[in-house]
Amino acid sequence: MNLKPFAADPQKSLGRQFKEAPSKLRNDFQRDRDRIIHSGAFRRLEYKTQVFVNHEGDMFRTRLTHSLEVAQVARGISRTLGLHEDLAEAIALAHDLGHTPFGHAGQTALNQCMKAYGGFEHNLQSLRIVDSLENDYVDFKGLNLTFETREGILKHCSNKNARKLGEVGKRFIQRTQPSLEAQLVNFADEIAYNHHDIDDGFRSGLLTFKQLQDVLFFNEICLEVKSKSPLINDRQCMRATIRRMMNIFIMDLCEQSQGRIDKQDLNSIDDVRDAGTIIALSEDMTNKQQSLKRFLREALYLHPRVQAMTDNAYNVINSIFERLMQNPDLINITKEHSQDELAILVSDYIAGMTDRFALQTYEKLCQSKTS
């Protein structure tokens, strides 16, 4: 691994919350990655919604496959820019650990349930999982990850919440930057889900090839693909176009970011933290990215079929939350907790559910109550 001086270095890590002897075989970022992969929260991502609920079809992406795709993109960008691939991969694999069942619809519903108790945000929940909720280790709570991985997981945070998080929350108060590895994972996430949601939307039949051709950037690349392969069918053309679009975004990100690096005098990760945003797309590609996001929102995320799943998710999450707040003994929570403490425990329980377990719990606790 050919690291640049401004890359994160496991030998110079700011450490773990609980001190541990170093591994003889792995650097600290590899160790973080492995702990994430072997965690229960990571396995549960297999049955959590990306866009389509898990039982909608076997070929749609889930939070797990999305996380793997983000990690692949992040590793490639890291290698190109001379950054630490293992750290980028660890952050990418952990970035969605805190997602609720039913994707963003579930998060919105749980946030509404938690409004009187401080709200719910999957980004903070991801950090909470690796810091305390995973319980496979005897000597500490959570996974005891390095500061650099924890920092990267925390993509955004209010000042109010940041003050509660100690060192890992300081950059939001001081308005400094995280590592370049953390910065690039944010872009790898958007690049992956924008293009793969198009793929899943087309596979589901909710997006048509004609609709996609109305997106200027898609149509431009599609015409290039067809000019080289005139006999290509729509499915093949769509997949080839997505691959080409992803490559263009990644190349632009690498070129723009390298240009910004070259203009800065970056000799350490401390220089990175004090600099402005380094990892970025060009203005042209930023506009194309925003255009894709608008198209996906209007044509896919607000599609009546997806909205029906969203409405169902609201009902399931709200019903379970209300039932457990009234009857915490159903999940072995004692009533000695304050309402705020109880709400957090119930929220943790619901956020950790898979789609199908949430539906089973709803049927068991809520529908049986009304039948």
pLDDT value at position 56?
Answer: 60
Average predicted confidence (pLDDT) for the chain: 92
Mean pLDDT over 262-289 rounds to 94
Residue 112 included in any domain: yes
Binned at pLDDT 50, 70 and 90, residue 152 comes out as very high
The pLDDT of residue 369 is above 70: no
pLDDT of residue 58: 64
Residue 313 counted as domain residue: no
* 44-80 pLDDT per residue, tens: 999 988 776 555 656 788 899 999 999 999 999 999 9
Q: Does residue 285 lie within any of the structural domains?
A: yes
Domain span holding position 37: 14-306
Positive or negative: CA dihedral 161, 167, 172, 177 = negative
Is 171 within a domain? Answer: yes
Give whichever of 151-165, 240-254, 309-323 has the largest mean pLDDT. Answer: 240-254
Q: From start to end of 54-138, where are the E strands?
A: none
pLDDT of residue 118: 92
CB 99 within 8 A of CB 214: no
| CATH code at position 113 | 1.10.3210.10
Contact criterion met (CB below 8 Å) for 155 and 134: no
Q: How many domains does the chain have?
A: 1
Q: Distance between CA atoms of 345 and 195, rounded to whole angstroms?
A: 36
Q: How far apart are CA 278 and CA 184, in angstroms?
A: 9
- Contact between residue 144 and residue 133 where contact means Cβ atoms under 8 Å apart: no
Work out the average pLDDT over 325-331. 93
Q: Which residues contact 22 (CB under 8 A, 6 or more apart)?
A: 28
**Whether the predicted pLDDT of 172 surpasses 70:** yes
Residue 305 pLDDT exceeds 80: yes
Residue 367: the pLDDT is 77
Count Cβ neighbours within 10 Å for each residue of 8-39 and write b for 16 or more, e otherwise. Answer: bbbeebeebbeeeeeeeeebbbbbbbbbbbeb
Interhelix angle for 234-263 vs 180-204, to 10°?
170
Residue with tokens 């039913």: 102
pLDDT at 269: 94
Percent of the chain topping pLDDT 70: 97
Q: DSSP secondary-structure letter at 188?
A: H
Element (H, E) at 105: helix 103-113
Is 352 inside any structural domain? no
pLDDT of residue 146: 98
β-bridge mates for residue 146, sequence order = 16
Provide the token pair at 15: 């450490």
Position of tokens 């919440």? 161
Asked which of 53-62, 122-131, 246-255, 274-283 is least confident by mean pLDDT, the reply is: 53-62
Assigned domain for 332 exists: no
Residue 32 domain flag = yes
Q: Which of 282, 236, 292, 231 is nearest to 259 (CA)?
A: 282
Predicted confidence (pLDDT) at residue 345 exceeds the cutoff of 80: yes
Residue 371's pLDDT is what?
47
Q: What is the pLDDT of residues 19-31, one digit of tens each?
A: 999 999 999 999 9
